[in-house]
Structures are given as structure tokens and as C-alpha cells.
């Protein structure tokens, strides 16, 4: 009988998976744990970057844009000019992304708890899915929870502008709705968090050995071998 080398390697990796301490002899249970580990490592890496000073602002994946409404449509002409000026927009951009860091501090433990308690009906489909399949599962299970829990903290952060000129300009504006602005920014922060976790998941799938995690190496390595 002729064996294909890649298939043999894949079977060997799969066998190694079942031999790992603490893994069930049932592949489904091992794969469920692998999905949770994949999400745990991905989210931990993502939050470690996002919760650094300027973590959102410096990120090409997660930077939050200034809401359009902060440009104002019914404001005094002077306020309009100032709000749209580069120095003020730069300040607003930094403030919005600083508020996003507050949101990430709230989100991190929520994400961790969700991963620990999540139900996974078809772990094999997640493992064999797209490069961000596990992140999509996480986002689906969290629903609107993340946004609703982050909203108060982000809203408070947006109101604490650290520049007197910005506070003065915003005081002149008659159409700056902080409730809508807070919701807009919080939605963007939620999307940015999932993008960051997804990017980390994609990187881990591409190179599971970089995690030094035996389960991820065995499961994702076996997948790549076939």
C-alpha cells in the first residue's frame, strides 16, 4: 500500500493530540478545548496590545476614527472652523482612542469569561474554518453584550477632554449629541476589538508553533498537514 507523506504526518500529529495529558480520547472534546485555547491566546495577545498607552491610536488594525458628528452641522461658523481644523481633529482623534482604552479594560474580563463558558456545537468546523472562524464564533456569542458594557466607561472618557480649547469649542456647538457620539465610538471600539482578536487568531493559525502551546500546535499543525 502506498501512503502519502503529508497524510502520515497528519495522522501522527493527530495521534499526538490524543496523547496529550488532560485531553479526552474523544476528538470532539479535545477540539473544543483547542478552540477555547485559540480564542484565549488570541484575545490575550490582542488586549495586551490594545491596553498599552496609545494602544488603539498606534494600531493600524484598531485605530478609532473621529465621529463625523464632531465636525458639527449646526454649529456657529467659528466653532465649525475650529472643530474641523487639523490641531483640534488631532486632539479629538487622540481623545477618542484614549477613551477606547477604557473600553478595552472593561471588555477584557468579559471576553475571557465568555470564552471559558462558551458552548461550541461543532468545534471541528471552527478548527477547519476560515482564518478568523473562532473570532466570529466569539462575536456571535457575545452579541451586543460587549458594546452595552463598555458604553458607560467610553462615554465618560469622551466627556473628559484634556484641552480647554476643545471644551470651549464643544460648548459653542448646538448639535453635538454626546449620547450618539458615545454609542458610535463604542460600536467602533467593539469592531476594533474583534478585528484585533481576529488578526491574532489568523497569525496563530499560520504559525501555531509560535504559541509554544502543545494543544494548539497539535491541532492546528495536524490541520495544516492534510
Rounded Cα distance, 200 and 50, in Å: 12
Q: What is the pLDDT of residues 55-93, one digit of tens each?
A: 999 999 999 988 877 654 444 556 666 777 777 788 888
Question: What are the boundaries of each domain within the chain?
Answer: 26-212
Task: State phi, psi for 186 to the nearest 5 degrees.
Answer: -65, -40
Going by pLDDT thresholds of 50, 70 and 90, the confidence category of residue 166 is low
Going by pLDDT thresholds of 50, 70 and 90, the confidence category of residue 21 is very low
For residue 15, what pLDDT is reported? 39
Mean pLDDT of the chain: 80
Give CB contacts under 8 A, 24+ apart, made by 210-218: 211/41, 213/37, 213/41, 214/20, 215/17, 215/20, 215/23, 215/30, 215/33, 215/34, 215/37, 216/34, 216/37, 216/38, 216/41, 218/13, 218/14, 218/16, 218/17, 218/20
For residue 32, what pLDDT is reported? 93
Residue 103, pLDDT above cutoff 60: yes
Going by pLDDT thresholds of 50, 70 and 90, the confidence category of residue 28 is very low
Q: Which of 15-29, 71-85, 198-212 has the lowest mean pLDDT?
A: 15-29
C-alpha cell at 160: 473628559
Query: Does residue 13 or residue 35 have the better pLDDT?
Result: 35
* Residues across the chain: 226
Residue 31, pLDDT above cutoff 50: yes
Residue 5, pLDDT above cutoff 50: no
Other C-beta atoms closer than 10 Å to the C-beta of 137 total: 22
pTM across the whole model: 0.80
Residue 217, pLDDT above cutoff 80: yes
Residue 171, pLDDT above cutoff 90: no
C-alpha cell at 136: 466570529
Whether residue 6 contacts residue 160, with contact meaning beta carbons closer than 8 Å, is answered with no
Rounded Cα distance, 135 and 125, in Å: 13
Amino acid at each position: 500500500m502506498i501512503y502519502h507523506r503529508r497524510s502520515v504526518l497528519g495522522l501522527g500529529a493527530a495521534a499526538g493530540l490524543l496523547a496529550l495529558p488532560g485531553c479526552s480520547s474523544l476528538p470532539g472534546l479535545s477540539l473544543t478545548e483547542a478552540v477555547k485555547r485559540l480564542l484565549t491566546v488570541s484575545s490575550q495577545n490582542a488586549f495586551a496590545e490594545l491596553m498599552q498607552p496609545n494602544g488603539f491610536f498606534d494600531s493600524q488594525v484598531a485605530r478609532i476614527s473621529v465621529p463625523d458628528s464632531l465636525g458639527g452641522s449646526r454649529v456657529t461658523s467659528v466653532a465649525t472652523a475650529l472643530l474641523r481644523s487639523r490641531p483640534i481633529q488631532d486632539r479629538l482623534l487622540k481623545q477618542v482612542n484614549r477613551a477606547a482604552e477604557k473600553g478595552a479594560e472593561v471588555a477584557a474580563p468579559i471576553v475571557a469569561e465568555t470564552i471559558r463558558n462558551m458552548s461550541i456545537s461543532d468545534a471541528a468546523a471552527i478548527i477547519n474554518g476560515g482564518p478568523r472562524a473562532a473570532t466570529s464564533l466569539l462575536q456571535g456569542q457575545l452579541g451586543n453584550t460587549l458594546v452595552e458594557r463598555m458604553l458607560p466607561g467610553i462615554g465618560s472618557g469622551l466627556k473628559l477632554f484634556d484641552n480647554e480649547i476643545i471644551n470651549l469649542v464643544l460648548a459653542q456647538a448646538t448639535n453635538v449629541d454626546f449620547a450618539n457620539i458615545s454609542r458610535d465610538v463604542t460600536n467602533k471600539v467593539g469592531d476594533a476589538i474583534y478585528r484585533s482578536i481576529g488578526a491574532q487568531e489568523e497569525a496563530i493559525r499560520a504559525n501555531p508553533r509560535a504559541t509554544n502551546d502543545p494543544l494548539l500546535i497539535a491541532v492546528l499543525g495536524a490541520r495544516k498537514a492534510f
